[in-house]
C-alpha cells in the first residue's frame, strides 16, 4: 500500500472522529448514550458499504483502507461504548446498560448488513 493510502487513512480517522465528536452535541445534557450508538451504527453501515464496494472491485485496496480503517474506524468507538455502559451500570441503571450493549450489538450488525446491501445493490 502506498504512503498516500496511509495519509488518506490518517485524514479519514480525523474526519470520523470529528463527526463522532459532533454527534455528542445531539444529547445535551447527556441522558443516554445516543450519540455513541449513532456513531457506531453509522460506522458499521459505512464499513459494510466499504466491504461491498471493495468486494465488487469498485474500491482500490488503498481506498478501502482509507474509508474502512480511517473514516469508519475514527467514527465508531468501542471505548466510549464500554465507558457509557459502565457508567449506566454504576449509576444503578443496569437494565439500560444491558439494553444499550445488546441493542448496539444487534443494531450494529443490522446496520453493517444494510450498508453492505445498499452498496452492493448500487455497485
> Could you tell me how many residues make up the chain?
123
Annotated binding-site members: 73, 76
Annotated binding-site members for Na(+): 73, 76
Asked if 1 and 69 count as a contact pair (C-beta separation under 8 A), the reply is: no
Chain-centre distance of CA 82, in angstroms? 14
Q: Among 25-29, 40-44, 66-70, 83-87, which is the least confidently predicted range?
A: 25-29
Helix (H) or strand (E) holding 45: helix 34-55
Say which DSSP state 65 is in.
I
**98 grid coordinates:** 444491558
Which pTM does this prediction carry? 0.91
CA distance 72 to 75: 5
- What pLDDT score does 101 carry? 97
Please say if the pLDDT value at position 99 is more than 80: yes
Q: pLDDT tens digits for 1-60?
A: 899 999 999 999 999 999 999 998 877 767 889 999 999 999 999 999 999 999 999 999
CA distance 106 to 112: 10
CA distance 113 to 11: 26
Amino acid at each position: 500500500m502506498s504512503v498516500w493510502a496511509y495519509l488518506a487513512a490518517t485524514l479519514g480517522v480525523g474526519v470520523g472522529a470529528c463527526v463522532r465528536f459532533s454527534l455528542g452535541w445531539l444529547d445535551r445534557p447527556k441522558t443516554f448514550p445516543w450519540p455513541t450508538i449513532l456513531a457506531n451504527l453509522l460506522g458499521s453501515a459505512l464499513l459494510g458499504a466499504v466491504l461491498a464496494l471493495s468486494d465488487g472491485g469498485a474500491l482500490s485496496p488503498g481506498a478501502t483502507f482509507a474509508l474502512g480503517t480511517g473514516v469508519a474506524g475514527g467514527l465508531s468507538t468501542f471505548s466510549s461504548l464500554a465507558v457509557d455502559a459502565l457508567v449506566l451500570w454504576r449509576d444503578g441503571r443496569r437494565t439500560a446498560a444491558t439494553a444499550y450493549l445488546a441493542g448496539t450489538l444487534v443494531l450494529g450488525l443490522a446496520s453493517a448488513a444494510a450498508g453492505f446491501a445498499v452498496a452492493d445493490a448500487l455497485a
